[in-house]
Structure 1
Amino acid sequence: MDTPASVRLFCLPYAGGGAAAYRGWTAASPPGLHICPLELPGRGRRINEAPFTRLRPLVRALTDALEDVLDRPFALFGHSMGALIAFELARALRARGLPQPVHLFVSGGASPDVPRTRPELHAATDEEVRSELRLLNGTPGELLDNAELMELMLPTLRADFSVLETYEYRDEPPLAVPITVLGGTADPTVRLPSLHGWRRQTSEGSRLLLYPGDHFFLHTSTDALLTDIGNTLSRRFSATP
């Protein structure tokens, strides 16, 4: 019987983030759970590549990249923008007849069928973008106040905001994948009703877990979050005949 130690956890970043967001997860994860952060163009080791500005081409590229490494059980985790990408990635894998994740973990993101209410930022002024980043509390103040670093960061941020803000939800059958929804109790941008909406996207059941913290609770509640992921996968495989 498979165990959680045999599961790859592909991790997708939030807007402006990269694989480095999950740098400490391998050391903090349950024994054997293989953390696999996915690096998107425009950041980290792919800093010289143009970032995607639309979600569907991004998902197609990810599906192409993962097609040959789905030879063992895997789960998907995404935070904020990453939650939406992970959801549409699972849909794309299904459409191609490829293996489905054993579990989908969506963190800090509203259900995809919930209309966006946040102001659009991909064409906003630099100061408006900085104000939103201050509200989200995920970017160090010294970076926000550094004009040179922000000049380097803003193109990727705008591209990521464009991915989110131009997304159009398409009605499809629910995924045959259980979903765990993760949220922050003090998140100023993602409210509880929009988290509950994820239950509509699965035929295999969903549950909601809340953690102390704001939109970036995944950094302040990492240990508890990874423990819950490990326990969830353990239950998944202990229930497999």
Structure 2
Amino acid sequence: MTAAVGPRTWLRRFHTTPDPATRPVQLVCLPHAGGAAGYFVPLSAELCEVADVLAVQYPGRQDRWHEPAVDDLHELSRQVVAALEPALDDRPVVLFGHSMGALVAYEAARLLNPARLYVSGCPAPSRGVESEQEITDDQGILDDLRALDGTDAELLSDPALLELILPALRADYRAVRTYSWRAGPEPSCPLTVLTGDRDPRTPADAVMEWKRHGTKDIRFHAYEGGHFYLTEHTRQVAELIAADLA
């Protein structure tokens, strides 16, 4: 059963009411461009016995479709932090972001000082997502989604559904396209960088540049697959996170 958590329904909990004694960590997951909190249901299922797993639902999609999407990534990160703060307690907080969500998680970590930060499927912030720089129209967005093979093909060819999802997609792609890294304090927590070994979004040099954005204990893990490798390797990623939390 899905439960909304926190103000303005930014957060979703998909599994089990947490017992702080058995789930001593709050794990907050942030989805990719065009993605929704539900993307993390499988990861939540794997980790719900060891962590209180929360997924962020950005405005402008699914049950928040009537709210305007945020097309500035720095502003989106600030709004995520503002929504998180009342929902957090004394337990350590861990952030996990995929693709655009990795940038949001990184910027949120600069404000929140979490216990750990996981960034997935994303070049270093100082590099930006170069492959999205020239995607400025709807056709370009749809072509890009098809190429990444992470969105149901039927969804992308249904005019009625596209009318609902395109506003959020436009805002997300604009947020990534216009994102500019700003110099300042970096997250002081351990940083783990996860990628798919055939992901066109994450060339090796752009991934290794994450070394600029951590201050200690920076690790890199590559999994077989493309941009949405996480779909096929949820259990392996969950095992990695569970070992860290333990």
Please, what TM-score do these two structures have when normalized by structure 1?
A: 0.88
Counting only pairs closer than 5 Å after superposition, residues 1-241 of structure 1 correspond to structure 2 as 5-29=23-47, 31-71=49-89, 72-93=91-112, 100-120=113-133, 123-124=136-137, 126-234=138-246
Tell me how far apart the structure 2 counterparts of residues 210 and 3 of structure 1 sit (CA, whole Å): 33
Equivalent position amino acid for 1:75 in 2? V
Equivalent position amino acid for 2:125 in 1? P
Between 114-123 and 220-229, the greater mean CA deviation after superposition: 114-123
- Report if aligned partners of 1:180, 1:208 keep a CA contact under 8 Å in 2: yes
Equivalent position amino acid for 2:37 in 1? A
Tell me how far apart the structure 1 counterparts of residues 142 and 240 of structure 2 sit (CA, whole Å): 33
Deviation string, structure 1 residues 114-165 (Cα, Å, up to 9, x no partner):
14421436631x3222111111111111112212212221111010011111
Deviation string, structure 1 residues 65-106 (Cα, Å, up to 9, x no partner):
11223321110000000000000001123xxxxxx2110000
- Report if aligned partners of 1:63, 1:92 keep a CA contact under 8 Å in 2: yes
Q: Secondary structure of the equivalent of 1:36?
A: strand
1:238 corresponding residue in structure 2: none
- Report if aligned partners of 1:59, 1:89 keep a CA contact under 8 Å in 2: yes
Q: CA RMSD in A?
A: 1.8
Structure of greater relative contact order (alpha carbons < 8 Å, 6+ residues apart): 1
Tell me how far apart the structure 1 counterparts of residues 132 and 122 of structure 2 sit (CA, whole Å): 16
Decide whether aligned partners of structure 1 residues 47 and 223 sit closer, same or farther in structure 2, where only a CA change above 3 A counts.
Answer: same
Tell me how far apart the structure 1 counterparts of residues 216 and 48 of structure 2 sit (CA, whole Å): 24
Decide whether aligned partners of structure 1 residues 218 and 4 sit closer, same or farther in structure 2, where only a CA change above 3 A counts.
Answer: farther
- Report if aligned partners of 1:12, 1:78 keep a CA contact under 8 Å in 2: yes
Decide whether aligned partners of structure 1 residues 36 and 116 sit closer, same or farther in structure 2, where only a CA change above 3 A counts.
Answer: closer
Q: Secondary structure of the equivalent of 1:104?
A: strand
What is the CA-CA distance between 1:50 and the residue it aligns to? 0.6
Between 220-229 and 22-31, the greater mean CA deviation after superposition: 22-31
- List alignment gaps of at least 5 residues for structure 1: 94-99, 235-241
- Report if aligned partners of 2:128, 2:179 keep a CA contact under 8 Å in 1: no
- Report if aligned partners of 1:59, 1:92 keep a CA contact under 8 Å in 2: no
Tell me how far apart the structure 2 counterparts of residues 223 and 4 of structure 1 sit (CA, whole Å): 20
Between 167-176 and 80-89, the greater mean CA deviation after superposition: 167-176
- List alignment gaps of at least 5 residues for structure 2: 1-19
2:8 corresponding residue in structure 1: none
What is the CA-CA distance between 1:45 and the residue it aligns to? 2.1
Between 138-147 and 214-223, the greater mean CA deviation after superposition: 138-147
Between 59-68 and 79-88, the greater mean CA deviation after superposition: 59-68
- Report if aligned partners of 2:128, 2:180 keep a CA contact under 8 Å in 1: no
Count of residues in correspondence between the two structures? 226
Equivalent position amino acid for 1:187 in 2? D
